[in-house]
Chains A and B, each alone.
Chain A
């Protein structure tokens, strides 16, 4: 193929290497004001009163707003369940975490805005607060949300049941139960959130914002302000990473809009890194209890999984994390019987939300740790045990999903062979370890928690008589490279050069509705399929006119390649793509040639059209004196279906390993009584270039019938295997099996010391 599978350099890269790409924080408009948020310094309190008069009187301050200046309409991504929509841009009656937003100012410059914040007086009447799941669930715990019908701090639960679990455990030869503690970590995208709002005199709003879900921001901003959806235009500029952290309507977006309407001037908000780390979204900390039943040979008979998610003060994307964690708990392997109970629990901390992997890193840490533990206890090879249970194409998760294609077994064999796993695992050299883990992930979500009435993805393809093509889509490139991948898909299908395709993306006033955004590894499959559908309409029309022009028998196949449209058997009978479009326009008496396509997964179960799979081997060394772990090499084999852009897929793998190594070894948002203690990138450590291990990767390409040109996801699944593989390798090196993350030197030294005493 001409474009699919090629390492096409990102089309936005030249703008990025020259500093010309414009991010939200780079936007400056005439008369623009600068906004800042006042946040609660207490974890849980009634707001007895707010006095903004001194702030409003400060020269240069143009507006100050509190919750009473907003419509007070609660919002949240789970429109399907309105009772979960628990957020306000500015709190009115009470605050629920340190950092909860209570007021906003707009001033002529950022310094004045900051000064104004200090002049706002808020009277708080402190309430008892809870900072962990256990205290939030204790009898007599303060109710964090008392405005609705909730009677406890469990904001929602999720149950999955299939098979006869009791019978499975009754006949099991081997049962183990373990408890795991997973930490809260930050997306740590490099670009702090920013937005600019403009209000026009016809009552419409334009919001340019750092988001991965412009359509959802449009809908929710309109509802939060009581406006018509299409009177709000949301534009996604270049976005500096998101990883799940930029997929909701956020306080500053609402405040910017209100302040812009009040002042008649554009208003910009730029968050600080401290705000991002101390108050921003994060991955859910989870407490997980898992009971696993196997027969003597290691075949899984059943699993009983209970998960408590530390949700923080609001639901955010917690409902989806609760839902997906349950699904990921039974992924990778066949589970004839399965019981899942997930509880999303409010605490007086910054809300957790969606983050790369979305429930999978936690669930698969548990699954994979238990598989390795079981293998050891049953005296089985850890790879053989996994192969015995691995999902294969055609397997069904009862009532949930069918496995369309699976390269899991092949991935396992590949990494085992590439690393001489069996030999190295059999060797025990002091401090050296080798570990294995697998992963699986969804390629886009089937569920419609946003309750959109639109198709999940849509595309418009305008073919022009100069041989160029204009693609319009709401798909949102936030750094992963979808703007390039989607053009590769269109270029391949239309047979035009990629440089002839102009792209307009992620502008709700220009692009066809809708696209749910960048999350759940959905963009390549869903937007890609929508683009193919649109392209095929264009092709049908052009094939018709070319066929008529050359008087071709109907049995002729018309080919689109090399910027031409022609008969495969008689290539000379054809014209350039532009001439074909001109002919079609003449046939339409001047009408434009436009294809419109859409994609919504239907009849694809409850979760996703298709799953990716991967296996990873980690080799490392543990310094027994200091407890420091040095990861030497990571070998990965992954089944991402057809790889559309190897540069992009490799980049996703490398980035996933970076994030996952942090999850395994050093990253954790540490808080005490609701206050984040490490809100800088000095104290919240992410790996630097020198910390990264060597890597090797193998692609297991399987054409998946659900994906465009056979593609599956590659952006999130690969973030899951590293932590359990590291834990497994540390166990191999030291005998210490950590059931919590991150596996810090302290934990290792403490465990080794204990072992020594025994």
Chain B
């Protein structure tokens, strides 16, 4: 089947990409745009490592077709920091509080947390844990991730 040309707006930058209709957004981001910060852990939408934001809402990019995301605002982990050297409050809290170990789930965790804080700026611990229900981590037991998100919420507040 022929490829289709789509416009992907990623982290504010426009990209024209030719993709097969079955290509996932995760593949397009990683392989066509070189944005490898989005991780693939299962390809079945269970682990959340591939979480990105589309029009501000969190989605698993391994279950989203690239063509579905055409023309919409996509935010990946590469677009979270305000500049190449600064970190945003979530990223800073993840680093400082030890919420990162192997790091493979980290991109997805931060984007899920960003979505949570965008519509619930002062979440309770339970709300944070529920918001991470689609993001698996095998290293941290989630404890420091939850603490970092709470801390970032406070800093934003």
Contact = CB atoms under 8 A, between A and B. Distances in A.
Partners in one complex: yes
Contacts of A25: 36, 40
B95 A188 contact: no
A9 B98 contact: yes
Contacts of A141: none
Contacts of B46: 273, 680-682
B35 interface: yes
Contacts of A187: 138
Contact of B96 (A9, A239, A479): A9
Given A241-B102, A688-B132, A655 B138 contact: yes
A207 to B, nearest CB: 19
A650 B104 contact: no
A15 B41 CA distance: 19
Contacts of B126: 690
A13 B148 CA distance: 13
B137 interface: yes
A189 B140 CA distance: 12
Most buried by A among B36, B78, B80, B132: B36
B74 interface: no
A695 B143 CA distance: 9
B47 A654 contact: no
Contacts of A7: 98
Contact of B142 (A16, A23, A658): A658
Contact of B145 (A238, A689, A690): A689
Nearest to A659: B138
What 10 A-B pairs come out closest when comparing CB atoms? A19-B37, A479-B102, A654-B141, A240-B104, A16-B103, A647-B98, A19-B77, A26-B36, A681-B46, A190-B104
Nearest to B42: A273
Contacts of B100: 10, 12-13, 16-17
Given A14-B87, A18-B77, A681 B44 contact: yes
Secondary structure type dominating chain A contacts: loop
A20 B37 contact: yes
Interface in B64-94: 76-78, 80-81, 87, 90-91, 94
B142 A689 contact: yes
A692 interface: yes
Contact of B132 (A647, A648, A689): A689
A190 B95 contact: no
Nearest to A277: B42
A655 B139 contact: yes
A272 interface: yes
Q: How large is the interface on A (under 10, 10 to 19, 20 to 34, 35 or more residues)?
A: 35 or more
Interface in B1-33: 20, 30-31
B101 A19 contact: no
A238 B103 CA distance: 9
Contact of A655 (B20, B43, B140, B146): B140
A366 interface: no
Interface in A618-656: 647-648, 650-651, 653-656
A26 B103 CA distance: 13
A6 interface: no
B157 interface: no
A355 to B, nearest CB: 12
Interface string A23-52: 101101000000000000000000000000
Contact of B106 (A17, A26, A478, A682): A17
A480 B98 CA distance: 11
